Structure 1
Amino acid sequence: MLKRKIDHYIKRYYETTRNALLVTGARQIGKTYSIREFGKSFKSFVEINFIDNPEAVEVFRGAKGSADILFRLSAMTTIPLIKGETLIFFDEVQKCPEMVTAIKFLVDEGSYRYILSGSLLGVELKDLRSEPVGYMGIKDMYPLDFEEFISCVGINDKIIDSLRNAWESRVAVDEFVHSKIMELFRLYLVVGGMPAAVSKYIESNNLQAVMAVQQDVIRLYKRDIAQYDPDNKLYIEEIFNLIPPELDAKNKRFILKKLNENAKFERYQNSFLWLKNAGVALSVYNVEEPKIPLLLARSRNLFKLFQNDIGLLAAQYAEGIQLRIIRGEKNINFGSVYENAVAQELVAHGIEPYYYNNKKRGELDFVIELDGKVLPIEVKSGKDYEVHRALSNIMECKEYDLSEAVVFCNDNLRVEGKLVYAPIYMVMFLEKSNVAPTYYKVDLSMLQ
């Protein structure tokens, strides 16, 4: 059983609210498994999968009100519905969006608890016109992040806590521990965070078997492309196949002419968005200035495209690269895989990554908003990690007045002025703070 952060999130969610929860994300990332595990804590657990059971879509279509829905549900299952002690799970709800709308009435009725899951493949569930605001929370789920990965392969919580303390205190990690965690990070670049691939590695330590699982996932994604968007499937698959070579390019940005000599962004825009909304790829947009809020400085058609899972990226490269990555061979360009791993980690932690590019000052790999400030990030895979012209230019710019920057590299942690040189695995500690709400009340006493 893989230990996932989402398991704790779901448990806490249902302890603090009567609302339903919709868990979304790409295919094969473990949504259904985690929900089923949570379902074991109820006396009764009912699961309706709208892909495996397509007739269920017709059964619920046209239902009027909660009583009608529950009557139809009781006719579909032999599992007893126990008031207050039953969790009802609607899986793959993108096939039955009416059920998302109906959740409002079911939650209001109050007899049972509800949880939903859906892939973003072809359907933007978060943009449903009748999303039941106030009755349903939405949680995005991703492949295992690095902390989850090392926990699953045997690193105990005390070691992870010591690494977190080193990051927060800005002190070096014990050299033996550092070398072992770096070895695990290189392993993570190959295995990635797809639950089936991680499980296969844990049970076999066989990288060929892991890659076979990853290739199955890639084939599944390509079948979904053909199934969900047949009109644009050639564009989408071509872009998907171009992610690895584009990441190896000098500027890592998509050059549309590689798709078509006369290509225009408008023609391909929906294909890029499909990959992003499906959770199959991660887009990182350019910002014109490293100022808060970064969203306002975002460029609409300048972006980098990363694979949603670092292990799938490695599986798309030439065969045999896996062992060379684990050994840390110097003739491999680690830059692209390191950057993909960082992008994946940031997104999994709810942080929107951007990058900065300026002809005069140069390019920063990532810029993010953290604790109300802009944090520039450089990712360095080689020994020359202290050479970072663009980062130096930005940090010296009085206009931006940036207080700190991070250079993720292979070496141990140290601080030089405003620059934190940190081992690449410490990206797992970049997380949004759970800050308490800020309250403000206007004094109207003089007007009363």
Structure 2
Amino acid sequence: MERYVLQDLLKWKNSPYRKPLILKGVRQVGKTWVLKEFGRRYYENTAYFNFDENEEYKQFFETTKDTDRILQNLMLAGGQKILPEKTLIIFDEVQDCPKVINSMKYFCENAPQYHIACAGSLLGIALAKPASFPVGKVNFLQVDPMTFSEFLLANGDENLAAYLDSVDTLTPLPDAFFNPLYEKLKMYYVTGGMPESVLMWTQARDVDAMQTALSDIIAAYERDFAKHPQTSEFPKISMIWKSIPSQLARENKKFIYKVVKEGARAREYEDALQWLVDARLVHKIYRSSAPGLPIAAYDDLSAFKIYLVDVGLLRRLAQLAPTAFGEGNRLFTEFKGALTENFVLQSLIPQFEVTPRYWTQTNPPYEVDFLIQRGNDIFPVEVKSAANTTGRSLKKFKELFADKVKLRIRFSLDNLKLDGDVLNIPLFMADQADRLIGLALEAQGKII
């Protein structure tokens, strides 16, 4: 498989400001494979240390802060040579090893010639704890589920992926590309972007194995819920997790605690929800009152939506059968287009530094699915799970905030088109959103 994060790792390797790296991402998203593949491609050798399989390695960090002694012990224990600049050192499953994480400070200050990358499945949780942490002494990199473009590469559709990258005008795509991309996107909704699920489909075309892979990943996540330090939170985390398809099936997708459990109150469940957010298993998207900067200043902290880390996991958690793949647009429209919204958000998050928000108004009701910040501009985004769409809420948003809206964006099954200040992006081009927005602003002469 080809993962675009490998290019980010190469930039890290070649950076004159390189520090020890912490690679974050949920369980089974491919962190270990990516690091080992990176080491195989770009280093003479890789020294791999797993602190879950070999807990005794932790002792090397508990007795000393001397980086030379730590490396010497690791070489002797692992039987691997470690050379400055030439060896990639991988510390895996470090989420329960605060001394290992803390030692990155000393590697940064005293041994910068060594290339070190740390990974762990619940690092988001570990880093949220108020423990001794090497602030300013590490670089961070997030590994997200495979994008639709990466799925195309894994599926042997390099020509389609290359075509998407080559689009440099905002004109409709020929049917010869549009139609197969539309069909491949339905496949992606079924598999999602978790590498094992993608592998089961793209290599073996085994639907049952793909379903089992997703079920096993969900089961692994649910076992992780028990790792919350307070055992009383475990059932709450589980109830929130299992309520997500029901939350997204509602017309108004605002998260409501009563959907989790009748009579549930925010203060009882907010810690459990925060655990899921810190673990990056879910994305929490706040309601914004206006398109102002900084965008966080306009957050309504009492209103938010919750999406899953991956569209395939959402489909499996919702128990939607893969046979929907062959039923026209059903996958796109299923439970109020929740899969489509989840997919678009999943595609937007890696492209933009600031987490998207959403906007609503009541009486009469209007909702813009997402607000994205690109540079110092904020763009309203509407997600439609069909073709021949109209943008009632986008129109209202423009009326209210005319001086702040350079461009309105719609994701739908319509073809690529710039119509005045409305950019329609086909759903299968969601990975290209940042680049296409740049092309639209350029076409309008709004880039200075």
TM-score, structure 2 length as denominator? Answer: 0.89
Could you tell me which residue of structure 1 aligns to residue 443 of structure 2? none
Number of residue pairs matched by the alignment: 429
Change (3 A) 1:311 1:64: same
Aligned Cα root-mean-square deviation (Å): 2.3
Could you tell me which residue of structure 2 aligns to residue 264 of structure 1? 265
Partner SS, residue 101 of structure 2 = helix
Give a deviation string over 1:293-328, Cα, whole Å, max 9, x none.
2111112131111111111111122353x2213432
User: Which segment drifts farther, 191-200 or 228-237?
Assistant: 228-237
Could you tell me which residue of structure 2 aligns to residue 366 of structure 1? 370
Could you tell me which residue of structure 2 aligns to residue 51 of structure 1? 52
1:163/1:173 contact within 8 Å kept: no
Could you tell me which residue of structure 1 aligns to residue 414 of structure 2? 411
Give a deviation string over 1:193-248, Cα, whole Å, max 9, x none.
00001111112112222111000000000001123343301000100001111111
Partner SS, residue 382 of structure 1 = coil
Could you tell me which residue of structure 2 aligns to residue 36 of structure 1? 36
Change (3 A) 1:311 1:232: same
Change (3 A) 1:234 1:121: farther
AA aligned to 1:287 is: S
1:122/1:228 contact within 8 Å kept: no
User: Which segment drifts farther, 199-208 or 259-268?
Assistant: 259-268
Q: Say whether 1:381 aligns with 2:397.
A: no
AA aligned to 1:115 is: A
User: Which segment drifts farther, 184-193 or 283-292?
Assistant: 283-292
Work out which of the residue numbers 416, 434, 445 in structure 2 matches 1:431: 434
Could you tell me which residue of structure 2 aligns to residue 227 of structure 1? 227
User: Which segment drifts farther, 45-54 or 62-71?
Assistant: 62-71
CA shift at 1:97, angstroms? 1.8
Aligned partners of 1:244, 1:354: CA distance in 2, in Å?
20
Partner SS, residue 169 of structure 1 = coil
1:325/1:332 contact within 8 Å kept: no
CA shift at 1:85, angstroms? 2.2
Change (3 A) 1:334 1:169: farther
Partner SS, residue 26 of structure 1 = coil
Matches within 5 A, 1:200-219: 200-219=200-219
CA shift at 1:59, angstroms? 3.4
Aligned partners of 2:205, 2:285: CA distance in 1, in Å?
33
Could you tell me which residue of structure 2 aligns to residue 12 of structure 1? 11
Could you tell me which residue of structure 2 aligns to residue 444 of structure 1? none
Could you tell me which residue of structure 1 aligns to residue 327 of structure 2? 327
Work out which of the residue numbers 132, 140, 143 in structure 2 matches 1:141: 143
AA aligned to 2:317 is: Q
Work out which of the residue numbers 330, 338, 345 in structure 1 matches 2:340: 338
Work out which of the residue numbers 121, 126, 129 in structure 2 matches 1:119: 121
Change (3 A) 1:64 1:121: closer
Partner SS, residue 89 of structure 1 = strand
CA shift at 1:431, angstroms? 3.4
Partner SS, residue 103 of structure 1 = helix
CA shift at 1:128, angstroms? 6.2
Partner SS, residue 152 of structure 2 = helix
Aligned partners of 2:4, 2:128: CA distance in 1, in Å?
22
| Structure 1: stretches of 5+ with no match in the other structure | 436-448
| Structure 2: stretches of 5+ with no match in the other structure | 439-448
CA shift at 1:121, angstroms? 5.8
Could you tell me which residue of structure 2 aligns to residue 250 of structure 1? 251
CA shift at 1:100, angstroms? 1.8
CA shift at 1:72, angstroms? 2.8
1:141/1:348 contact within 8 Å kept: no
Aligned partners of 1:42, 1:212: CA distance in 2, in Å?
35
Partner SS, residue 83 of structure 2 = coil
Give a deviation string over 1:31-71, Cα, whole Å, max 9, x none.
00010112223233211111111222233213232233223
CA shift at 1:406, angstroms? 1.1
Aligned partners of 1:392, 1:83: CA distance in 2, in Å?
58
1:45/1:88 contact within 8 Å kept: yes
